[in-house]
Structure 1
Amino acid sequence: MSNTDFPALQGFYQLLFLYLEPMSTMFPALMSWIFPGAAWFHHQLIPSADPVPTTPLEARTLMMVWQLGNCYLLLGLVSSLVFRAARDSLRKDLVAQERIVGSLLAALAIADVTHIAATFAGLPPDIRYNFLAWNSMTHGNITTVVVLFSVRLAWFMGINRTPYYYFTHKKTV
């Protein structure tokens, strides 16, 4: 499919939101369920020099980590499938296509802000502002999500795309 097949989500936006973000969102689900596993995933949530504990997680904690993995999977699937449904079902209705894409991007932007805030607030004070002490999980939960949020805002501002609904002004006669 070429970029012209999905006018509401073209170029870099299409690459990021239709392919890269869903894959990167579903990946943590597999990491928490299969490899390296729930104990590793749980341990990585807060950066630490301590080794991953070898004792199994308590049942409630294990269930929570697996459910978090399920939320990651759901987020990736919803993004991927809703964008594809808008593209495939609304090829000729660019306004509807953009409204659906915009609705999903708005929901994701709100989730970005709350995800960043929850992660940042949950970090111990001694590493909260020490970005060099953050591990890949922390950077994924904060740094990467800040980038995604910024690109969502750029989409809404119409940067490097043709708007069909958002910020278009209808001429009155």
Structure 2
Amino acid sequence: MTDFQALSGFYQLLFLYFEPMSTMFPALMSWIFPGAAWFHHQLIPSDAPVPAAPLDARTLMMVWQLGNCYLLLGLVSSLVFRAARDSLSHDPIAQERIVGSLLAALAIADLTHIAATLVGLPADLRYAFFSWNPMTHGNITVVVILFSVRIAWFLGINRTRYYFFAHRKTKTA
């Protein structure tokens, strides 16, 4: 198999393996263990224990649907990157166009996810970085890192560009 030119080295490790696994994991956490009530409680950092009362039907459905969104995000990333690698192994330009399109969509989603999380946090926790729990760091800190690496990919840092901002020869008349 040839190298995956559009995603090489660190980019391949991050976007083809780490990110899909890290986005599918919350789905399992919300559905199976520790469960929807724990997941719901962790969305806003708190020292209070997880309430013993079950979630109402609407909240439970919302948490499970959120889990489904996480699963979908992980599957789309994993499957599209692999399809580009396997189907276009000898066409790095086409690979980069497809990978770049997905990374652009993910970058936009990163920004809206960060904004929604920050706006949803109580004002006293919004910028209290050291008071955040792992869920909040996952929703903000990790997503900021992923967004930054996506921008680095578009800037061509530590990779060869084939399509996005690549220098192309133009035809002269």
TM over 0.5: yes
Asked if 1:166 is matched to 2:164, the reply is yes
Structure 1 residue 168, shift from structure 2 partner = 1.0
Structure 1 residue 125 and structure 2 residue 123: aligned? yes
In the alignment, does 2:23 pair up with 1:28? no
- Please list every run of at least 4 consecutive aligned residues from structure 1 whose deviation after the TM superposition is greater than 2 angstroms: none
Q: Describe the SS at the equivalent of 2:74.
A: helix
State the partner residue of 2:70: 72
- Looking at structure 1, the residues matched to 158 and 27 of structure 2 have their Cα atoms a distance apart, in angstroms, of 32
2:57 corresponds to = 59
Q: TM-score, normalised by structure 1?
A: 0.97
> Number of aligned pairs?
171
SS at 1:103 equivalent: helix
Shift of the alpha carbon at 1:5? 1.8
The separation in 1 between residues aligned to 2:168 and 2:80, in whole angstroms, is 27
> Matched residues in 1 for 2:17 and 2:46: separation?
31
Q: How does 1:27-106 map to 2 (within 5 A)?
A: 27-106=25-104
Structure 2 unmatched ranges of 5 or more: none
**Corresponding residue number in structure 2 for 1:19:** 17
Map Cα deviations across residues 131-158 of structure 1 (whole Å, 9 max, x no partner). Answer: 1110000000000000000000000000
Q: Secondary structure at the match of 2:51?
A: coil
**Percent of residue pairs bearing the same amino acid type:** 82
The alignment yields a C-alpha RMSD, in angstroms, of: 0.8
One-letter amino acid of the structure 2 residue matched with residue 145 of structure 1: V
In the TM superposition, residue 169 of structure 1 has moved relative to its aligned partner by 2.0
